């Protein structure tokens, strides 16, 4: 078991390599695992994602295996989208809700084979998954510690991986899965990621983790490969408009005060809700919400100036109508971006609002009322993200 010693936090199968590369010695806690916030420099790591190849240790991500003849029916009961439409060797993004139609978490479902799926999620969910399995002929197992994972992201990521020997990877379509042999062990590669760029995720047995890291970085050296930490990932995901559980919404199971959770509609994820399915968690509540309307609307804001609008109030005619949940100055898009929750009916595309920003310099707090506008789409969405075959940058 990775990290099975006397330390408070677990370590991943890549920890020996990660620790050696982490020059800043800046660490965080990701669901009980020690993980680097940065390695060398935030901007260098960010530009590795956007200009060359960046590598992120994804191993602490919660991973759950669902097998058995009722696997599809079981998952269709849990999640909002139609699992039958996720074909074998494909990955689907989805959310799952409680009975009130409030989001418990978002994540990905990997269709690995007949009656064989893997759920990857932010929140630890094994208890809920096991409770929900009653009445279904399924086996649900947590495999977080049994699978080592790396996210390999950026324009030269495909070229770096092919240089490592993954021949034909350039033909893999977005959200596709392919299998390769790696020193006698199965290496699963999915064209997925959390950066909004061309990228892949690698999944392998923990005992092969260090060898995989070494071979990847040796093959990727001509493609300027670098590891990146949580801070660079945060900047990249905001730039591409991806929401983060625990940041842009509170999982419904973790809320204390009524009204603090959000529905898929309130997070801009209505496209993941298939009301044609006869039964799934929260369906009745979501039908009611669609009929009466939602309380909030998710919005991507273009904020004037260069002061990130973290934790800002959003105003309309001097009245608070929302809050910023994530914000960053995005170097590639050269735009000040904020993700926000706005009270309905605010948040229509093109609506002009004001972000009430407070920032500190040399112990002096300054307030700025920055004009902002609701955008139709994320500020960063490059064609290479979807292009197949992937170009050999």
pLDDT score, position 241? 95
pLDDT score, position 329? 93
pLDDT score, position 6? 55
| pTM exceeding the 0.85 threshold for the entire prediction | yes
**CA atoms of 188 and 163, how far apart (whole Å):** 17
Q: For all residues of the chain together, what is the average pLDDT?
A: 95
pLDDT score, position 7? 67
pLDDT score, position 188? 98
Helix or strand run (H / E) with residue 231:
helix 230-239
Beta pairing class for 319-330 and 313-316: antiparallel
**CA atoms of 119 and 110, how far apart (whole Å):** 6
Identify the structural domains of the chain with CATH numbers, from first to last.
15-59+147-228 (3.30.1360.120), 295-376 (2.40.30.110)
pLDDT score, position 122? 85
pLDDT score, position 322? 97
**CA atoms of 373 and 355, how far apart (whole Å):** 10
List the chain pLDDT tens, one digit each, 393 residues. Answer: 444 455 689 999 999 999 999 999 999 999 999 999 999 999 999 999 999 999 999 999 999 999 999 999 999 999 999 999 999 999 999 999 999 999 999 999 999 999 999 999 988 889 999 999 999 999 999 999 999 999 999 999 999 999 999 999 999 999 999 999 999 999 999 999 999 999 999 999 999 999 999 999 999 999 999 999 999 999 999 999 999 999 999 999 999 998 999 999 999 999 999 999 989 999 999 999 999 999 999 999 999 999 999 999 999 999 999 999 999 999 998 999 999 999 999 999 999 999 999 998 899 999 999 999 999 999 999 999 999 999 888
Percentage of the chain beyond pLDDT 70 is 98
**CA atoms of 138 and 335, how far apart (whole Å):** 47
309 to 85, 169, 303, 323, 340: CA distances (angstroms):
39, 39, 8, 10, 10
């Amino acid at each position: 078991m990775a990290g099975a010693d006397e330390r408070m936090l677990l370590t991943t199968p890549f920890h020996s390599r990660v620790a050696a590369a982490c020059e800043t010695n800046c660490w965080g806690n990701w669901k009980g695992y020690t993980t680097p916030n940065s390695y060398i420099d935030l901007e260098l790591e960010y530009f590795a994602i956007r200009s060359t190849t960046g590598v992120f240790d994804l191993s602490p991500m919660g991973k759950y295996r669902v097998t058995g003849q009722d696997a599809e029916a079981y998952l269709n009961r849990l999640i909002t989208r139609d699992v039958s439409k996720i074909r074998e060797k494909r990955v689907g993004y989805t959310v799952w809700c409680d009975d009130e139609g409030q989001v418990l978490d978002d994540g990905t479902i990997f269709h690995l084979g007949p009656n064989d799926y893997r759920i990857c999620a932010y929140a630890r969910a094994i208890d809920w998954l096991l409770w929900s399995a009653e009445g279904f002929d399924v086996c649900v197992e947590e495999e977080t510690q049994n699978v080592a994972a790396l996210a390999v992201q950026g324009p030269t990521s495909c070229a770096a991986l092919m240089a490592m020997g993954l021949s034909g990877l350039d033909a893999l379509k977005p959200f596709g899965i392919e299998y390769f042999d790696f020193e006698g062990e199965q290496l699963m590669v999915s064209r997925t990621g959390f950066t909004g760029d061309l990228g892949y995720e690698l999944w392998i047995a923990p005992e092969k983790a260090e060898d995989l890291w070494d071979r990847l970085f040796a093959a990727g050296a001509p493609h300027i490969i670098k590891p990146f930490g949580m801070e660079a990932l945060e900047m990249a995901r905001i730039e591409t408009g991806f929401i983060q559980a625990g940041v842009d919404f509170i999982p419904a199971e973790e809320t204390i005060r009524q009204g603090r959770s959000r529905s898929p509609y309130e997070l801009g994820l209505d496209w993941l809700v298939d009301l044609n399915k006869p039964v799934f968690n929260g369906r009745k509540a979501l039908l009611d919400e669609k009929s009466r309307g939602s309380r909030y609307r998710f919005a991507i804001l273009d904020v004037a100036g260069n002061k990130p609008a973290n934790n800002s109030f959003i105003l309309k005619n001097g009245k608070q109508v929302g809050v910023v949940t994530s914000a960053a100055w995005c170097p590639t898009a050269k735009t000040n971006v904020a993700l926000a929750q706005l009270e309905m009916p605010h948040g229509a595309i093109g609506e002009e609002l004001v972000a009430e920003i407070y920032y500190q310099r040399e112990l002096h707090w300054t307030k700025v009322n920055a004009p902002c506008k609701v955008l139709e789409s994320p500020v960063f969405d490059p064609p290479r993200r979807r292009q197949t075959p992937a170009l050999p940058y």
